[in-house]
């Protein structure tokens, strides 16, 4: 099987998986779920440690660190915007935090997947001509994803803490 057929099969499988994930997420879109503020740091911390381990296998050199820093900054900006799209509410009596999945945040992530695959298809065929290493491209996508996810969690946590602080102040004033 030639490379283009393998690539098309890979895209088809990825499209089906992304479609299934979106289908199940959209079905539960309006359900509220408990936001456990005290646990929001755990998954991003694990992802950062895994990214660090990945980067240490084939450490970037020189300007590659700058490139990864720029990718991190882009991911952080996108993550902050994504975090703002996710609604958070607080029960004024119990001070329990709740969140709902945001259709805008879901579409935002879908757009990122599409952009990633478009970029990957362009870079797969031109990476060698542009003198880009595959390891650096992989590291870049990992750094982008980790920064996006971690910073969106940070934005949500800061917003949740502010809501909790305001609810406690309102209850103490009453």
- Per-residue model confidence as pLDDT tens digits over 56-113: 988 898 899 999 999 999 999 999 998 998 889 998 888 899 998 767 666 766 776 6
pLDDT at 67: 92
pLDDT at 76: 96
Diameter of the chain measured on Cα atoms: 72
Are residues 22 and 80 both part of a single domain?
Answer: no
Residues 116 and 73 occupy one common structural domain: yes
Q: What is the pLDDT of residue 11?
A: 72
Please give the share of the chain, as a percent, with pLDDT higher than 70.
Answer: 82
Residues 62 and 8 in one domain: no
The yes-or-no verdict on residue 121 having pLDDT over 80 is no
C-alpha pair distances (Å), 85 with each of 40, 104, 109, 159, 164? 17, 6, 11, 12, 19
What is the mean pLDDT of the segment spanning 2-18? 76
Question: What CA–CA distance (Å, rounded) separates 87 from 17?
Answer: 26
pLDDT, position 79? 93
Q: 120 and 166 share a domain? A: yes
67 lies in the same domain as 5: no
Residues 118 and 74 both lie in one domain:
yes
Same-domain status, 83 and 159:
yes
Q: Provide the pLDDT for residue 20.
A: 81
16 and 36 inside one domain: no
Residue 132's SS3 state is coil
Give the residue-averaged pLDDT of 122-148: 76
Domain that holds residue 6: 1-30
Question: Where are the alpha helices (H) located in the chain, listed in sequence order?
Answer: 3-27, 42-57, 63-85, 103-126, 134-173
Q: Are residues 49 and 6 in the same domain?
A: no
Q: For residues 11 and 72, state if they share a domain.
A: no
pLDDT at 123 over 70: no
**What's the 3-state SS for 64-91?**
HHHHHHHHHHHHHHHHHHHHHHCCEEEC
Whether residues 92 and 14 share a domain: the answer is no
């Amino acid at each position: 099987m030639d490379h283009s057929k393998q690539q098309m099969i890979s895209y088809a499988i990825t499209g089906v998986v992304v479609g299934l994930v979106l289908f199940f997420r959209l079905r539960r879109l309006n359900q509220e779920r408990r936001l456990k503020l005290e646990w929001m740091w755990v998954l991003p911390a694990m992802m950062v440690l895994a990214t660090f381990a990945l980067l240490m296998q084939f450490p970037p050199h020189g300007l590659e660190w700058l490139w990864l820093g720029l990718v991190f900054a882009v991911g952080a900006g996108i993550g902050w915007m994504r975090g703002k799209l996710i609604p958070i509410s607080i029960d004024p009596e119990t001070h329990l935090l709740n969140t709902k999945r945001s259709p805008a945040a879901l579409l935002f992530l879908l757009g990122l997947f599409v952009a990633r695959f478009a970029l990957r298809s362009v870079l797969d065929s031109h990476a060698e001509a542009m003198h880009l290493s595959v390891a650096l491209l992989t590291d870049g996508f990992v750094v982008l994803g980790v920064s996006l996810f971690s910073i969106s969690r940070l934005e949500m946590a800061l917003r949740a803490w502010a809501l909790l602080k305001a609810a406690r102040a309102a209850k103490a004033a009453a």
